[in-house]
Amino acid sequence: MITIEKFTFNSFQVNTYLLYDETKECILVDVACQDQNEREELHAFIKSNNLIIKAIINTHNHVDHILGNGFAKSTFEAPLLAHKDGEQFIRTAPASAQMFGFAFSETVYPDRYIDEGDKIEFGNSSLEVLHTPGHADGSICLHNPKQKIIIVGDVLFRDSIGRTDLPTGDYDLLNENIKKKLFTLPDETVVYPGHGPATTIGEEVMNNPFVKF
């Protein structure tokens, strides 16, 4: 049984998720902690729950989602996994940070690429990778059909969708991926987005004003 813990980090209010089960093995998703306080908050939770980090995963490599990867890699000694199509965003992260008015130089490249259909195993649990570009190239979602949970990064939000005005953004592609790969999941599937509160597939199929059928 997977337990999900959410932290919200940095000025972009990125959700960092910890997924772990009864074995204490844990996956970190979008490690976005930026300053010392945020790093300590994350580290303290991991230590006090005796969690064993098996992998660090980026839903996509936008700079606000990867700020804590250097810290996480060196502290937890786990491999970083991401889709290969998002590599350019790691290269341009220092320049993007500068554009947003902060300094960032600690770029970390994936140890292993993940793609559609891959399974991320930890403890007694597993997550299935969906490839869902449209907000940014290399965007992935992590799905557990048994428990009906999905981590979606910036693909889908409660009553909204990811921006498509940034490099590699493509509204039609995003819309298509949401309809084909997310809105076909059971209504009760709980959606954990990269920003803001959780929602369900059923709620978004009913109410999301940005997805066109």
The residues binding Zn ion (CB under 5 A) are: 62, 154, 194
What CA–CA distance (Å, rounded) separates 161 from 114? 23
Q: Give least dist CB 26 to Zn ion, A.
A: 22
Listed in order, strand segments (DSSP E) in the chain are 3-9, 14-20, 25-29, 52-57, 80-82, 112-113, 119-122, 125-131, 140-144, 149-153, 156-157, 160-161, 190-193, 199-200
Q: Give least dist CB 145 to Zn ion, A.
A: 25
Q: Give least dist CB 99 to Zn ion, A.
A: 14
Which CB atom, from 123 or from 194, has the smaller least distance to Zn ion?
Answer: 194
Which CB atom, from 19 or from 161, has the smaller least distance to Zn ion?
Answer: 161
Which CB atom, from 21 or from 87, has the smaller least distance to Zn ion?
Answer: 87
160's tokens: 């909204």
Distances (CA, A) of 121 to 2, 118, 126: 12, 10, 4
Contact between 119 and 128 (Cβ < 8 Å): yes
Which CB atom, from 11 or from 124, has the smaller least distance to Zn ion?
Answer: 11
Which CB atom, from 38 or from 154, has the smaller least distance to Zn ion?
Answer: 154
**Residue for token pair 């700020």:** 67
Q: Give least dist CB 65 to Zn ion, A.
A: 6
Q: Give least dist CB 118 to Zn ion, A.
A: 21
Which CB atom, from 1 or from 95, has the smaller least distance to Zn ion?
Answer: 95
How many Cα atoms within 13 Å fall on the side-chain side of residue 152? 33
Q: Give least dist CB 133 to Zn ion, A.
A: 11
What CA–CA distance (Å, rounded) separates 115 from 208? 27
What CA–CA distance (Å, rounded) separates 24 from 47? 11
